[in-house]
Structure 1
Amino acid sequence: MGSTANSPGFPIVGLSGPLLLAFSTDWALFAVLTVQLYLYYQAFPNDMVFTKVLVYTVYCINLTQVIFVTIDAFNTFGYGFGDLSMLTTTALGWLWLVTPIFGGIVACIVQSFYAFRLYRLSGSRIAPSIITFAALGMCGIGIFEGVSGREALRHRLRTPPVVVTTIFLVGNALIDITIAGCMTYYLIKSDMGFRRTHTLVTKLIRLSIETGLITALVAILLLALSVGIPGKLYFVVPGSSISTVYANTLLAVLNSRFQILNGRRDVPTSDIILSMPSNLRSTVGGPVVSITREEFPDGSNQAMELKQMNGSAIAV
């Protein structure tokens, strides 16, 4: 029988704490992803089939991931409650699949999608091709690392070489930063100076930088914890969530196309009410919400407006 949790002097918090945070973080991010998917489904029914397939594929991968994470969590804190050996064996049962393989595949899909958008925006094939091939290369390295990690857990061999992990994580971080930089450059070039276009371009630039930095920081944090603090489980927190972070950034970019007017922005309510047909106006006070779907500069979507007043919604 394995050692019990009552063994004196054993640093159990260093094992159970990171695992608990990792499981909780992954469930929370998946919940956010589910809400984002629902918003996308409601707001953009006319998106290209390619975009829809990509979105639902990424979601299904993360759904599979959260199932494996839940299995590890139940084996660790359910069946293995009080058994310290479970914290170092069963708890990492599917980590080899979740972090490098699922993370590498989702990162490749998301980065390739950004490369496609970059091609539509710039018209140049050089940068998008480099990004796509680099993403495919990092995906291959991630699969190799995952298979090596599985063999290490099965035969209790040494873990994959540090250089493989370093290349995988640094490569993905550099790709994300490159995408953010290229998108920012071409968006600035596409700014025509009109007020509405300038507002949209500014929002997209900010969104590109933010999403690129988030995914890059997660990869760098994972590298720092796995290589800089060997023998500890702190790396499982960003490691188990890297796939879901990429998926959330993708949905955040797609869902950024709709706006909520007359919320906390300084838009006069009377202007929106007066622009509505008379049969939609109401003498009852209350907020009027208008959600509009805009086009990206590459023209990849159509416009749609959803107006809601006093609990009723009409699609225009």
Structure 2
Amino acid sequence: MNSAGSPPGFVVVEQSGPQLLAFSMDWALFAVLTVQLYLYYQAFPNDMVFTKVLVYTVYCINLTQVIFVTIDAFNIFGYNFGDPSALIPTAQKWLWFAGPIFWGIVACIVQSFYAFRLYRFSGSWIAPSVITFAALGMCGIGVFGGVSGQQSSASVQAIIVISTPIYLVGTALIDIAIAGCMTYYLTKSDPGFRRTHTLVTRLIRLSIETGAITALFAILILALFFGIPGKVYYVVPGNSISTVYSNTLFAVLNSRFQILNGRRDVPASDIHISIPSNLPSTVGGPVVSITQEEFSDGSNQAKELKQMNGSATVV
């Protein structure tokens, strides 16, 4: 349906619908990120300062991004409600900053963290260095695209059309490379012991899942941007991809604790929880077990839950 005063062929729902979904998805993913931050805060008070700074920095970046997104949403559906010109992405005040620039920065931080983690598992700087430099390069392209998006000259727009697929494909390839390298080195270091093998398998699955999610979002943006030209459907995954990267980072960090005795069946031999002597002999409900991997000290080996002072503690 055309709006009065809008240019020929302008369909309001094709502009407002995807942007409304994009804003809603961004808010929902930020809510998930906030819950993950709370779980991290409660579960890992003894992490390295570097890890804590990384977590809170990423969260603050996403908080700033969601504030800018909310400002744009209020301008579109509040101050300028009914104005078709407000629905054009280039008319949004903060889209250029909250979109590609924040995406480039957050993706670079998260991918660099994965590269550091890869170094801790492999002991080699070759693959982590390549990944880090590639992430920095893609970050530069993203920032350039965001800043240039505010300019309307034909030459700048042509450069954006060329740089956008390079950035999207490059980011996806970095995520796939990270997942592949992590899988290779983790498989190579698996000693075959049952408990350690279970941990390694879980880390491999997590590496593949997180890399696949972010790579899928980048490919989806690329497909919508070039596959459906003239439409803004790409903003649905595009506006929230930085929050997706942040959620995958928090998921990796929070994967160190797991709920024992809950809905998932856990063999009794794998449960290493002792009950303090001053508690009743029966415990109702699940018990949370926490493992720390390499984030609390300099060790690169995943650490198991141990018993200290008669109760389960994290070491």
User: TM > 0.5 between the two?
Assistant: yes
Match of 2:24 in 1: 24
Q: Of 271, 293, 296, which aligns to 1:295? A: 293
In the other structure, the counterpart of 2:174 is: 175
Distance between the aligned counterparts of 2:301 and 2:28, measured in 1? 31
Distance verdict in 2 for CA 1:304–1:36, change over 3 Å? farther
Contact 2:273–2:312, Cα closer than 8 Å, also in 1: no
- TM-score normalised to the size of structure 2? 0.88
- Pairing 1:42-121 to 2, within 5 Å after superposition: 42-88=42-88, 92-121=92-121
Q: Does the 8 Å contact 1:191/1:198 carry over to 2?
A: yes
Superposed CA offset, 1:38-86 (max 9, x none): 1111111111111111111111111000000000000000111111111
SS of 1:115's equivalent?
helix
Deviation at 1:275, TM superposition (A): 3.7
- On the 8 A contact 2:101/2:142 being kept in 1, the answer is yes
Residue 6 of structure 1, CA deviation: 9.8
- Offset, 1:305: 7.6
Q: Match of 1:265, SS?
A: coil
Query: Is the CA contact 1:259–1:291 (under 8 Å) kept in the aligned structure 2?
Result: yes
Instruction: Output the CA distance in 1 between the equivalents of 2:97 and 2:191.
Output: 46
Check if 1:201 corresponds to 2:200: yes
- Distance (whole Å) between structure 2 residues aligned to residue 191 and residue 241 of structure 1: 36
Establish whether residue 219 from structure 1 lines up as the match of residue 218 from structure 2. Answer: yes
The CA deviation at 1:124 is 0.9
Contact 1:118 1:182 in 2 (8 A): yes
**Residues 275, 315 of structure 1: alpha-carbon distance in 2 compared, 3 angstrom cutoff:** closer
Does the C-alpha gap of structure 1 residues 17 and 300 become closer, same or farther in structure 2, counting only changes over 3 Å?
A: farther
- Determine if the alignment matches structure 1 residue 146 to structure 2 residue 146: yes
Contact 2:272 2:305 in 1 (8 A): no
Provide, for residues 165-184 of structure 1, a one-character-per-residue CA deviation record: whole Å limited to 9, x for no partner: 01111000000000000000
- In the TM superposition, what is the alpha-carbon distance from 1:137 to its structure 2 partner? 0.4
CA deviation profile, 1:60-118 (whole Å, cap 9, x unmatched)? 11100000000000000011111111111576322211221100000000000111111
Q: Is the 8 A contact 2:108 2:136 kept in 1?
A: yes
Q: Distance in 1 between matches of 2:284 and 2:163?
A: 58
Q: Partners of 1:5 and 1:34 in 2: how far apart?
A: 42
Paired with 1:144 and 1:39, the residues of 2 have a C-alpha distance of: 35
Contact (CA 8 Å) 1:75, 1:91: kept in 2 or not? no
Q: Any unmatched runs of 5+ in structure 1? A: 307-312
List per-residue Cα deviations over 1:136-176 (Å, max 9, x = no partner). Answer: 000011111111002239x9x84753110011110000000
Instruction: Work out the CA distance in 2 between the residues paired with 1:286 and 1:129.
Output: 48
CA contact (8 A) 2:190 2:197 kept: yes
Q: Matched residue of 2:250: which SS?
A: helix
- What code does the residue aligned with 1:57 have? T
Cα deviation 1:229-271 (Å, max 9, x = unaligned) = 22111011111011001000000001000111001233478x9
CA RMSD between the two structures: 3.0
Distance 2:232 2:158 in 1: 14
Give the 3-state SS of the residue equivalent to 1:196 in structure 2: helix
In the alignment, the residues of structure 2 paired with residue 240 and residue 124 of structure 1 have an alpha-carbon distance, to the nearest angstrom, of 35
Q: What is the total number of aligned residue pairs between the two structures?
A: 305
Cα deviation, residue 21, structure 1:
0.2
Matched letter for residue 119 of structure 2: Y
What is the DSSP-based 3-state SS (H/G/I as helix, E as strand, rest coil) of the residue aligned with 1:290? strand
Q: CA deviation at 1:272?
A: 7.0
